[in-house]
Amino acid sequence: MPIEPERSRWEFPHPDNYGDGDLVAVGGDLSPGSIIAGYRQGLFPMHLEDGRLGWWSPVERGIIPLESLVISKSLRKSLRRFRVTFDQELAGVIDGCADPNRPDGWITQDLRSAYLELGRLGWVHSIEAWNSEGALAGGLYGVKIEGLFAGESMFSRERDASKVVLVALVGVLSAIPSGLLDVQWATPHLKSLGALGVDRSEYFRRLARALRAPRVEGPWRELP
């Protein structure tokens, strides 16, 4: 069970005052209490180009409805190529997502440290795909609060590895009543997997239901 962090010393704007842009607030910190409070209000942290910490709530929020995940024939074949684990290599997954050779990298060292600490407290989870030689081929990580899983980032070193862990994640979340898979923005790549954009008010309705969902922890463990 996650350890509730010390309350944030910052007050976020009320959702009614988020305005008509994706960026809602600037400042604060990356303490566990601040990050968890942000997610509970539909916010996530990401630095601005000038280095300041921004808190974002996209006007059109990307989600993947759990019943709408697109699994192609080629992906079904790939599901047999990898071994999937949960919470075995959070640091390695974050580092894979933060690879400076990837375009549009945004995961800073302080974000890395903050999410590793949230992992230690039980709020951040990773899912890993391992190839037949035992090497980390891909993964994803995100914040889980009750029925919400807020996906932060994913990466692949081999074809379909990130998609394989996404399939595993959806399988876990499907056991949670009112489970919500938040992907921040519905990019073309994510749309090809079933993501869609919903307006902020609809996202908040879904978020409220997810945060009231009964706690279902697993299986955040190695799959058979």
Query: Does residue 82 lie within any of the structural domains?
Result: yes
Q: What is the pLDDT of residue 217?
A: 60
pLDDT grade for 224, boundaries at 50, 70 and 90: very low
Rounded Cα–Cα distance for residues 169 and 152 (Å): 13
Alpha-carbon gap, residue 126 to 143, rounded angstroms = 9
pLDDT digits (tens, 9 = 90+) for 59-93: 999 999 999 999 999 999 999 999 999 999 999 99
Nearest to 23 by CA among 12, 33, 34, 35: 12
Residues 119 and 85 in one domain: yes
Task: Tell how far CA 188 is from the center of its chain.
Answer: 17
197 lies in the same domain as 96:
yes
Judgement on whether residues 200 and 89 belong to the same structural domain of the protein: yes
Is 46 found in the same domain as 66? no
In a domain, 1, yes or no: no
Q: Answer whether residue 9 is part of any domain.
A: no
Q: Is residue 69 part of a domain?
A: yes
Instruction: Tell whether the model's pLDDT for residue 164 goes beyond 80.
Output: yes
pLDDT at 168: 94
Once rounded to an integer, what is the mean pLDDT over residues 155-181?
Answer: 93
Question: Which pTM was predicted?
Answer: 0.93
Q: pLDDT, tens digit, for every residue of 24-38? A: 999 999 999 999 999
Report the chain's C-alpha Rg in angstroms: 17
According to DSSP, residue 185 is labeled: S
pLDDT category at 223 given cuts 50, 70, 90 is: very low
Tokens of 76: 């079904």
Residues 205 and 187 in one domain: yes
Structure tokens at 149: 């899983």
Domain count, the chain: 2
Q: Taking the CB of residue 9, how many other CB atoms lie within 10 A of it?
A: 10
74 and 92 housed in the same domain: yes
In sequence order, which residues have a C-beta less than 8 Å from that of residue 30 and are 6 or more positions away?
Answer: 45, 53, 110, 111, 113, 114
Whether residue 36 is found in the same domain as residue 138: no
Q: How confident is the model at residue 160 (pLDDT cuts 50, 70, 90)?
A: very high
Regarding whether 206 and 102 lie in a shared domain, the answer is yes
Q: Using an 8 Å Cβ cutoff, are 84 and 127 in contact?
A: yes
**pLDDT band at 1, cuts 50/70/90?**
confident
Confidence at 104, pLDDT banded by 50, 70, 90: low
Residue with the larger pLDDT of the pair 202 and 178: 202
Give residue-wise pLDDT tens across range 43-60: 999 999 999 999 999 999
Same domain, 134 and 67: yes
| 51 shares its domain with 115 | no
Is the predicted pLDDT of residue 103 greater than 80, yes or no?
no
Band of pLDDT at residue 99, cut at 50, 70 and 90: confident
Q: How confident is the model at residue 221 (pLDDT cuts 50, 70, 90)?
A: very low
Structural domain ending residue among the three candidates 5, 25, 58:
58
What's the domain range around 22?
15-58
Compute how many other C-beta atoms are within 10 angstroms of the C-beta atom of residue 164.
27
How high is the pLDDT of residue 31?
A: 98
For residue 11, pLDDT over 70 is answered with yes
Is the predicted pLDDT of residue 102 greater than 90, yes or no?
no
CATH of the domain at 34: 3.30.70.3550
Residues 195 and 105 in one domain: yes
- Of 143 and 221, the structure prediction assigns the larger pLDDT to 143
CATH number of the domain enclosing 173: 3.40.630.70
